[in-house]
Structure 1
């Protein structure tokens, strides 16, 4: 990890005209740190770069605390003397290190930021630096003394769609589940864009969505087009905290009313993004699509047969006549990985009564108030009748 190597005084000279001496009560340090270069390390590769801490103030800085924080796809190398290591909220690795040299006004010292990319590293962020006076950095915000570096590990993550199959008669209400799964090897937490991983859900023809998860919005021309509500042919669903662990599944339960007379009707689920753009980190498009299939028997009780499409571990279940084979109701859930549940209750039905349990809100990241990796890419779904607020593919807040 981070080795703190004291450097000599850099470029301290005597000016031709002495500046007025600062009043003792006004003198204080003003520390700034140099910017780290970006990189694309491979899993298992170590990043090791120097950082210069310079005192632009009028008083010496002593007992300077240098802090480094790493998202979960990165980890520190061997512990360094003078550093205390902890894991804070959302599995963020933190090192608090004491620099062993007083930094006089105009002087600089050099330290190193060192970490290794893990096998699940992908879209990562590093925070590093100190407070302006040498105390630990403020709980939020970045400036010239405390900086943020976004980097991408040379890795992939495989988003897979999982469909569902049900059997119902005309006029029935039936529940189907559409699922988005991360098969890894990288975890996904994109904090540099609001084009987050999403699941496109096309409602089978001959059915109508009467209850919809709150995390699913109608899809317009090129993105979400309004609040969650029944009656639309296509939806896009996404997780509010925009995080998908390796092995994690996000499931979204829809209640459909069957309007077709008989036969098999199919819809589709597709692993994509909220703007229906295939993520660059997903190099395996073969499992991006799966089917939502409803078998509607004729008067003799027979159907056209067939199987529903699925990916990875296959379809998520079979339902019929409004039964709930998964023990859930309209809404979303997440499983696997290290995350909690994602959830949402649907919109109102159209005249038919379907009892659904209202799930709780999404599990938050539990982020520290310093909002490590609080990217600017949040997609906000407004459910009070207003349109979804979307700021298309914004960049994250740059270091000031």
Structure 2
């Protein structure tokens, strides 16, 4: 909710580039080489298989778009590229169309791209899109592949192959239940229920449960595995596997609701729930990189609420995309009756005219609750400087409240950590501003104060003690 986070978020917000904007960018900067004078290698990441629904599916999108994502080995990239997508095999089972930056002949698309990024961190965006829908009369289970290749003005394009199949399971998850006023130390039940609204059965299902700080799984089942992350949100994961066939139209529920312990760290807490066919390639992106431990309790079972209809279509592993109010991903908000006392420390410094001095200040979450603001509006400080000073340096995370020269020089400044939407109990964030003393004023005083909200006087219910929300920054 605080001001500094919103300003910084807006400054770095991304938007899709139109063809005109890309053309202007290309004109403004020659696309002859990467900025580090090394021709980049731009590699298409293996596209995940996609499934397109037939008319027998319900609650699903009518079209799908494969993810065409690229990475690079270069520290910066600036090059025109031509991407070629050969979709002739796919066109035998599906309708295929392409984005406006492509010219198409006989289901082979030639697409213009501009890969441009000063700090790609390995990832590059693209504007080329392929849109696919099933042809009428094609049987569920039909599969075809497409190929992607390319050339670049500067560098090398490494392409790849993707696949498309007709039909698939679609697990429509019933909305989960929100809870408020949960007592610390209590256990809360969260039912899970879903229906296969797709046009193919699934040979199994996988349920991913993600608990935020303050929640812990009370049961550890033998057909589930668990992973913990102490400094992130979610903080605990459970991945449960069910090997029974889920027929089309079948409705099932967990035989035992998910049981969650409410810990001393709980305030804003959440349970994210995702259900997919066993083997769905989209799940790997979420679970890769975790260390898992098998549960040692009994097995978590599914209870059949409606058996659905047996289908002659082969079982599918790739989920159909759901639409509207239908979803295979739900979030339950569970708020605990708890507190988190934030406090601020200031600083005192001495100096003569012309001296530069550091003013140190910090913010601490004294707990007991961990604060997790899922909106992304982090918790930080607004800093006013002692009069007679000019800012000449700032620690990481401190920025002037605006780009107006007067405020860059004399404040106010906003200070917050990266990831400050998640503040564990006991965590202290340290900051500093370096100022030049232009005029000595005995007892000149500024302030570091928690920026709770744009609304004057508002403070959150979890922190009833406002006496320690600010601290002085004093010179001489």
Please list the CA deviations of residues 333-360 of structure 1 after superposition, one character each: whole Å capped at 9, or x if unmatched.
xxxxxxxxxxxxxxxxxxxxxxxxxxxx
Q: Out of 75-84 and 93-102, give the one that drifted further.
A: 93-102
| Larger RCO (CA within 8 A; separation ≥ 6) | 1
| Kept in 1: contact 2:241–2:278 (CA 8 A) | no
| Kept in 2: contact 1:217–1:229 (CA 8 A) | no
Tell me if 1:117 matches 2:253: no
Q: Secondary structure at the match of 1:29?
A: coil
Please list the CA deviations of residues 292-341 of structure 1 after superposition, one character each: whole Å capped at 9, or x if unmatched.
1111xxxxxxxxxxxxxxxxxxxxxxxxxxxxxxxxxxxxxxxxxxxxxx
Matches within 5 A, 1:237-256: 237-242=415-420, 243-256=422-435
Which of 270, 291, 294 pairs up with 2:472?
291
Tell me if 1:42 matches 2:223: no
Once the 2 structures are TM-superposed, how far is the Cα of residue 131 of structure 1 from its aligned partner?
A: 1.7
Tell me if 1:54 matches 2:195: yes
| Kept in 1: contact 2:268–2:372 (CA 8 A) | yes
Which of 248, 252, 272 pairs up with 1:127?
272
What is residue 414 of structure 2 aligned with on the other side? 236
| Kept in 2: contact 1:156–1:185 (CA 8 A) | yes
More helix by share: 2
What is residue 388 of structure 1 aligned with on the other side? none
Please list every run of 5 or more consecutive structure 2 residues that lacks an aligned counterpart in the other structure.
1-136, 143-165, 287-320
Once the 2 structures are TM-superposed, how far is the Cα of residue 171 of structure 1 from its aligned partner?
A: 2.1
What is residue 18 of structure 2 aligned with on the other side? none
Change (3 A) 1:134 1:79: same
| Kept in 2: contact 1:68–1:95 (CA 8 A) | yes
Separation in 1 of the partners of 2:201 and 2:173?
16
Separation in 1 of the partners of 2:397 and 2:406?
7
Change (3 A) 1:176 1:36: same
Change (3 A) 1:215 1:203: same
Q: Secondary structure at the match of 1:197?
A: coil
What is residue 31 of structure 1 aligned with on the other side? 171
Q: Secondary structure at the match of 2:467?
A: helix
Q: Secondary structure at the match of 1:273?
A: coil
Which of 63, 71, 96 pairs up with 2:212?
71
Please list every run of 5 or more consecutive structure 1 residues that lacks an aligned counterpart in the other structure.
1-19, 296-400
| Kept in 1: contact 2:205–2:277 (CA 8 A) | no
Matches within 5 A, 1:208-227: 208-219=390-401
| Kept in 2: contact 1:160–1:287 (CA 8 A) | yes
What is residue 168 of structure 1 aligned with on the other side? 351
Once the 2 structures are TM-superposed, how far is the Cα of residue 156 of structure 1 from its aligned partner?
A: 1.7
Please list the CA deviations of residues 351-393 of structure 1 after superposition, one character each: whole Å capped at 9, or x if unmatched.
xxxxxxxxxxxxxxxxxxxxxxxxxxxxxxxxxxxxxxxxxxx
| Kept in 2: contact 1:212–1:229 (CA 8 A) | no
Matches within 5 A, 1:288-327: 288-295=469-476
What is residue 186 of structure 1 aligned with on the other side? 369
Once the 2 structures are TM-superposed, how far is the Cα of residue 260 of structure 1 from its aligned partner?
A: 2.6
Aligned length: 271
Q: Secondary structure at the match of 1:263?
A: coil
What is residue 342 of structure 1 aligned with on the other side? none
Separation in 2 of the partners of 1:116 and 1:72?
11
